[in-house]
């Protein structure tokens, strides 16, 4: 039986939702999966809502459209819970992952009656601890890989490290900090 996963990312320009979707596609591709990773945004500027998407499958992907009924949604900025219907089309047998310092119980009233699984992670706390700056996309990337069961932790970390070595060859401190953030997120998502 084939495995096909669809993820929709909601963030604001400059928070890394697009980068996270593209990194996830790259890492999944490196493990032999079929992938798509792409953003949707118009002439928005820094801070404006953006959407990005991932399709990850063990068989060829024939669809070439936005994802309207995802299994998973990642919310990079919790202020979007009031600005955008992040649960639109979200399958109840999937899950929503939200970057927040609040508990699931505190978040539930903002999810328009969504009955599926809800996961939270404080990506800001993790990012500051691991990188010294606020980059929510790195912890959220690890968290969605765990929540969606896209690949095992060791494979994910190995492929991410290889990707970071390629992208940040002259900045080893960035590589170490990002790997630390990924590890922390795997442990802390709940």
Q: Mind listing the pLDDT tens digit for each residue in 139-173? A: 999 999 999 999 999 999 999 999 988 877 787 77
End-to-end CA distance of the chain: 28
Per DSSP, 156 falls in state H
Other C-beta atoms within 10 Å of 58: how many? 13
Q: Give the mean pLDDT of 20-25.
A: 95
Mean pLDDT, all residues of the chain:
92
Per-residue pLDDT at 57:
97
- Where helices occur in the chain by DSSP H, the ranges are 17-30, 80-83, 104-107, 123-131, 137-148, 153-167, 172-188
Q: Give the mean pLDDT of 54-83.
A: 95
More confident residue, 45 or 37: 37
Per-residue pLDDT at 167:
79
CA 111 to chain CA centroid, Å, is 18
**Residue for token pair 């990312």:** 9
Q: Give the mean pLDDT of 14-22.
A: 93
Q: Give the mean pLDDT of 13-21.
A: 92
Q: What percent of the chain has pLDDT over 90?
A: 84
pLDDT tier at 1, thresholds 50, 70, 90: very low
pLDDT tier at 26, thresholds 50, 70, 90: very high
C-alpha–C-alpha distance, residues 85 and 187, integer Å:
28
Per-residue pLDDT at 43:
63
pLDDT tier at 47, thresholds 50, 70, 90: confident
Per-residue pLDDT at 105:
94
Locate 12 and state its tokens.
């604001």
Locate 156 and state its tokens.
């994910």
Q: Is the CB of residue 105 less than 8 Å from the CB of residue 128?
A: no
């Amino acid at each position: 039986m084939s495995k096909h996963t669809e993820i929709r990312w909601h963030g604001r320009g400059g928070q890394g939702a697009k980068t996270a979707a593209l990194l996830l596609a790259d890492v999944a591709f490196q493990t032999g999966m079929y992938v798509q990773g792409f953003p949707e945004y118009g002439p928005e500027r820094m801070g404006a809502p953006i959407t990005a998407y991932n399709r990850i499958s063990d068989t060829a992907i024939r669809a070439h459209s936005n994802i309207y009924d995802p299994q998973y949604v990642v919310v990079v900025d919790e202020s979007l819970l009031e600005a955008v219907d992040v649960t639109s089309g979200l399958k109840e047998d999937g899950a929503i992952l939200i970057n927040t310092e609040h508990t699931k119980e505190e978040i539930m009233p903002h999810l328009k009656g969504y009955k599926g699984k809800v996961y939270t992670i404080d990506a800001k706390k993790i990012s500051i601890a691991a990188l010294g700056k606020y980059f929510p996309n790195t912890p959220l990337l690890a968290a969605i890989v765990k929540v969606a069961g896209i690949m095992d932790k060791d494979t994910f970390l190995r492929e991410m490290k290889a990707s970071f070595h390629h992208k940040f060859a002259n900045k080893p401190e960035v590589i170490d900090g990002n790997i630390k953030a990924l590890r922390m997120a795997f442990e802390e998502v709940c």
